[in-house]
Amino acid sequence: MTDAADTGAPEGALAANLMHFARALRAAGLPIGPGRVIDAMHAVRAAGITNRSDFYWTLHAIFVNRRDQRELFDEAFRLFWRDPQLLERMMQMMLPTIEAPGEEKKPVNRRIAEALAGGDPARNRPPEIREEEALDATLTWSDREVLRKMDFEQMSADDMARAKKMMATLRLPFAHVPTRRFRPDPAGHRADLRATLRASLRNGGDVIALRFRKRRDRPPPIVVLCDISGSMERYSRMFLHFLHALTNDRDRVFTFLFGTRLTNVTRYLRQRDVDESLAKVARAVEDWSGGTRIGHTLAEFNRLWSRRVLGQNAVVLLITDGLDRDAGSGLAREMERLHKSSHRLVWLNPLLRYEGFEPRSLGMQAILPYVDEFRAAHNLDSLSDLATALAEGTPRTSRYIWTGKAA
Amino acid sequence: MTTPRSRPLPPSVDDALTLLGAGRYVADRSLATAVFLALRLNRPLFLEGEAGVGKTEIAKVLAETLGRKLIRLQCYEGLDTAAAVYEWNYPRQMIEIRLAEAGQESRQTVENEIFSERFLIRRPLLQALTPDPAGPPVLLIDELDRADEPFEAYLLEVLSDYQVTIPELGTIKAPAPPIVVVTSNRTREIHDALKRRCFYYWVDYPNAERELEILRLKSPGAAEELSRQVVGFIQKLRKEELFKVPGIAETLDWTRALVELDRVTLDPATINDTLGTLLKYQDDIARIRGPEAARILREVETELAAAPK
């Protein structure tokens, strides 16, 4: 026990150290407010500092509130309470850059540029989606994976307006689900006894006229699994814009991107500003425009995430062209598992650009038997095309059965 | 059944560990620390972890060893105040109105009368805030992830101020805060605002040593050799890529099944026959049954033979 906290330092020093520790954790990305430092003080006073392990778990109980924060906490604790001064010095060196991530290096925001120029430069912009990609030299090739960073073109004011309009008219191919909550409704079928009694008291309790209530409906949670491999490259920007708009439009939307690996980007997409949000997504994902291993990534999703996000009757929207590098091996099994865990599974395939296209690839044949609904988009050049593709024939309940020569 | 007698709260982490031990719960020191802090600082304890690792058990053990009443609120989607906090006894209220009419009572008296505590049905949360002769009760809010967000938001008031508001009666505040244990299976993320008010603890699968300790305590009828094999087998199984790996509850169930079958050691045939108590998904069972189970068992046997007794 040679840690600094053990040497009977006066309380003031401990408080200062706890504060610095909290700041270090905050800089590392844990959501810690000043209130927690006070809580930590109380907790440490209550538990006393007798040994390092108790001290560790006392602070752990305060500062950690998700399982995945533990590794971060563990590392910070090890570093900090070995020699607090060291970390403090490190923080002083690091903090300025941490506090302003990307603020300086960011190119002039396109919307601001537009506003200043007064005109609309978006008009003579080529309609093609321009995605610049840069091979990150520091990342090596591993297991034939192509790891790339994506640099998205910023969204123009025009794009934003169109996205807003699209969201306003968007009809998703899944119906609202009934909840177990009720709201007053004169046309409802259940008696609302509480309201009935109150109303009857209002006129002296002579007449008891029944009041009614009705089940509340609510949109189901949506889990989006979006393919970002090379073959889907021309769509990824548009899909991300769509997903950003969707995430900000309603609650309970979870987004995972996959190519050769699976990335949960839900938190980044919750960021209000679309450019910031996409920049963060671009930084978090390492396998842009590489190969596809649908079976492998779905297995990962099933094992690690399905129970956490599919619990509440979630609808799964699978966006992929079904072109699989592993030629569909293991894919059927994972699709079956995914289908069984989800309330409804909708597959949107943007590859079907030609009318006569048939899903012949092995990946597609493995996916098709397990989807409740299959949406093919022949031409996806804009968000509104996507909205149309998703909404077409929406009130359809029968299950999609592939009757082609696939079998 | 004797009336429960309240015992004092543990004054230190060591005592918290002893307390859990007295309730036949094998706990890590880290868990004891979180329990101690929750008891000492009157904050809810938030336990998260996979199904079957003994989260609910902690609340039961606390209630038993501290001699408090255990009040359990099982969460489900759509759980509302009528089921969780209070409800008025409508049929009785209606009869009361009829009686009052017969007795020619004034309208105001009737209204005051029928919204009094006499007609209030207390549900778990309100019960937990009511004074109890044995001391503040243990309130177990089980599987909070199954409830929906509106209920979670409602809990914020209850868990931070230990009070509920009933429009007809006013605010009811607990004289002494109950001991609150919240559990979650993580089928969805609980909002940070709620977690912030609690002490968080992730209940993990135990290591081999601790699992053996649990097994000896809970299943004393099992042969020592069998217990070691069971623990070894399950520890290996947890490293496989399964859809749902077995928890401690499954370990205990399996051992109980093996003891009932009079087994003193594991053999591949028995494993195949009883795999259903261990794995709950057909895909998982199909994967492990047969050669895979035999392979794991061989590994366990080699390791046990090599390890010093």
pLDDT digits (tens, 9 = 90+) for B86-136: 999 988 888 888 888 787 777 777 778 888 889 999 999 999 999 999 899
Asked if B77 and A179 come within 8 Å (Cβ–Cβ), the reply is: yes
Sign of CA pseudo-dihedral B294, B298, B299, B300 = positive
Q: Which domain holds residue B287?
A: 208-303
A359-380 core/surface letters (b: 16 or more CB in 10 A; e: else): bebbbbbbbbebbbbbbbbeeb
Domain boundary among B152, B179, B202: B202
Percent of chain A topping pLDDT 70:
67
Q: Which of B156, B173, B202 is the last residue of a domain?
A: B202
Same domain for A274 and A379? yes
Whether the CB of B240 is below 8 Å from some CB of chain A: the reply is no
With CA atoms as reference, report the closest residue to B190 among A195, A18, A67: A67
Same structural domain, A21 and A54: yes
Residues of B in contact with A56 (CB under 8 A): 30
Interchain CB contact of B119 with A (< 8 Å): no
Taking contacts as CB-CB distances below 8 angstroms, the residues of chain A near B186 are: 67, 307-308
Interface check for B276 against chain A (CB to CB < 8 A): the answer is no
> Count of CB contacts below 8 A, A vs B?
118
How far, in Å, CA of B238 to CA of B221, rounded? 24
Considering the domain architecture, whether residues A88 and A57 belong to the same structural domain is answered as yes
> Could you tell me which residues come within 8 angstroms of residue A362 by beta carbon, excluding any fewer than 6 positions away?
A324, A327, A328
Of A58, A65, A179, the CB nearest to B78: A179
* 8 A C-beta contact, residue A64 and residue B192: no
Question: Does residue A238 sit in the same domain as residue A352?
Answer: yes
**Any CB–CB contact under 8 A between A31 and chain B?**
yes
Instruction: Return the ∠ at Cα B147 (arms to B145 and B152), rounded to 5°.
Output: 90
B152, B192: one domain: yes
Q: Provide CB contacts within 8 A for B156, sequence distance 6+.
A: B193, B194, B197
Query: Does A58 lie at the interface with B, CB-CB under 8 angstroms?
Result: yes
pLDDT in tens, A235-273: 777 788 888 888 887 888 999 999 888 999 998 898 888
Calculate mean pLDDT across residues B154-175: 90
| A361 lies in the same domain as A260 | yes
Residue A357 is predicted with a pLDDT of 56
In a shared domain, residues B266 and B171: no
Same-domain pairing of B37 and B80: yes
The answer, yes or no, to whether residue A121 has pLDDT greater than 50, is: no
Q: pLDDT-based confidence at A92, cuts 50/70/90?
A: low
Distance from CA of A363 to the nearest CA of B (A): 21
Residues 6 or more apart whose CB falls under 8 angstroms from that of A281 comprise A240, A257, A265, A268, A269
- Using pLDDT thresholds of 50, 70 and 90, give the confidence band for residue A205: low
Is A404 domain-assigned?
no
Does B216 lie in the same domain as B144? no
Q: Which chain B residues have a beta carbon less than 8 Å from that of A58?
A: 33, 37
Identify all chain A residues contacting B77, using CB atoms and an 8 Å cutoff: 179-180, 312
**Is the same domain home to B184 and B248?**
no
- B58 & B174 share domain: yes
Q: Range of A367's domain?
A: 222-391
CA A359 to chain B, closest CA, distance in angstroms equals: 27
A136 — pLDDT class (breaks 50, 70, 90)? very low
Residue B13 at interface with chain A, using a CB cutoff of 8 Å: yes
Q: Of B153, B171, B202, which marks where a domain is finished?
A: B202
Query: Does B291 fall in a domain?
Result: yes
Are both A284 and A368 inside the same structural domain?
Answer: yes
Per-residue pLDDT band for A278 (boundaries 50, 70, 90) equals confident
CB contact B6 to A (< 8 Å): no
Q: What is the ipTM of this complex?
A: 0.77
Whether residue B174 sits in one domain with residue B274:
no
Residues B190 and B282 in one domain: no
